Amino acid sequence: MRIDKLLAHAGYGTRKEVRQLIKTGAVTVDEKRVVKNNMHVNPSKEEIVVNGEIVTYEKYVYLMLHKPQGYISATVDDIERTVIDLVPPEYDHYPLAPVGRLDKDTEGLLLLTNDGKVNHALTSPKRNVVKTYVAIVDGLVTEEHIAIFASGVILDDGYKTKEATLEIIKSGAQSEVMISITEGKYHQVKRMFKTIGMQVLYLKRIRMGELQLDESLRPGEIRLVTEDEKRYLLSLK
């Protein structure tokens, strides 16, 4: 890969700014000063340094976030805090985007990546990727409701959802349930429970396909996906 392209992709500026860096002698490869913008390098075999800092290059990055409540699933917003505000500085130069959406008051698993193909694969309705949530609802959930969700429910806009799997963890005046869906309509889980006269009091996503929330991550914490998790994500492309 060309050195100017690599450094621009790694967040060291535009192509023009990177060329200026090279011109000032700030870039070395294996301790030799780079003098040509079109020099080809292999970041996996050669040590690339900019202003004394070793360049760590990955074309794509995949971050698992335990999204906390109070943040919106967007890249930028003039008023609200976004999940991108939680990204550590070492990943600032990647054009990250959330995969799918979690409501502002919903917490749990959210993947952040600059890999558009993986993002599309996980969110495309045609792929039927299962998303699993734990919810606390205001009302008594029964076997009857399991059957209703399994056959699909008609939302307030007339849309009939695909079948959903509902499991009762604890039933009572407030019930704790697990619900799995393959769609991502606006406020879908909340609207589904609204059709049976119940309000969702708490919602947490714990799984997307084979990607499961790392419960050691506290809300707001983030980590790179593991190699096994990465293999799964790449298998979707």
pLDDT the model gives residue 57: 77
pLDDT the model gives residue 129: 96
Q: Rounded to an integer, what distance in angstroms lies between the CA atom of residue 67 and that of residue 104?
A: 9
pLDDT the model gives residue 82: 98
pLDDT the model gives residue 216: 97
Q: Rounded to an integer, what distance in angstroms lies between the CA atom of residue 91 and that of residue 63?
A: 9
Catalytic-role residue among 103, 156, 214, 228: 103
What pLDDT tens digit does each residue of the chain (237 aa) get? 899 988 987 778 888 999 999 999 999 999 999 999 999 999 878 999 999 999 877 889 999 999 999 999 999 999 999 999 999 987 877 889 999 999 999 999 999 999 999 999 999 989 999 999 999 999 999 999 999 999 999 999 999 999 999 999 999 999 999 999 999 899 999 999 999 999 999 999 999 999 999 999 999 999 999 999 999 999 998
- Superfamily name with CATH number, domain 3-54: RNA-binding S4 domain (3.10.290.10)
Q: Give, in order, the Cα–Cα distances in Å from 126 to each of 30, 121, 182.
A: 47, 9, 9
pTM of the predicted model as reported, rounded to 2 decimal places? 0.82
CB atoms within 10 A of CB 181: 22
Q: Start-end ranges of CATH 3.30.70.580 in the chain?
A: 62-125+211-235
Annotation says 103 is catalytic: yes
* Token duo for residue 57: 């290059």
* Token duo for residue 202: 């708490």
SS3 for the chain is CEHHHHHHHCCCCCHHHHHHHHHCCCEEECCEECCCCCCECCCCCCCEEECCEECCCCCCCEEEEEECCCCECCCCCCCCCEHHHHCCHHHCCCCCEECCCCCCCCEEEEEEECCHHHHHHHHCHHHCCCEEEEEEEEECCCHHHHHHHHCCCECCCCCECCCCEEEEEECCCEEEEEEEECCCCCCHHHHHHHCCCCEEEEEEEEEECCEECCCCCCCCCEEECCHHHHHHHHHCC
Give domain 62-125+211-235's CATH number out of 3.30.70.580, 3.60.10.10, 3.70.10.10, 3.40.50.300. Answer: 3.30.70.580
Q: Given this structure, which CATH class describes domain 130-208?
A: alpha beta
pLDDT the model gives residue 163: 96
- Asked if 22 and 3 count as a contact pair (C-beta separation under 8 A), the reply is yes
Q: Start-end ranges of CATH 3.10.290.10 in the chain?
A: 3-54
pLDDT the model gives residue 93: 72
pLDDT the model gives residue 13: 85
Q: Rounded to an integer, what distance in angstroms lies between the CA atom of residue 207 and that of residue 184?
A: 13
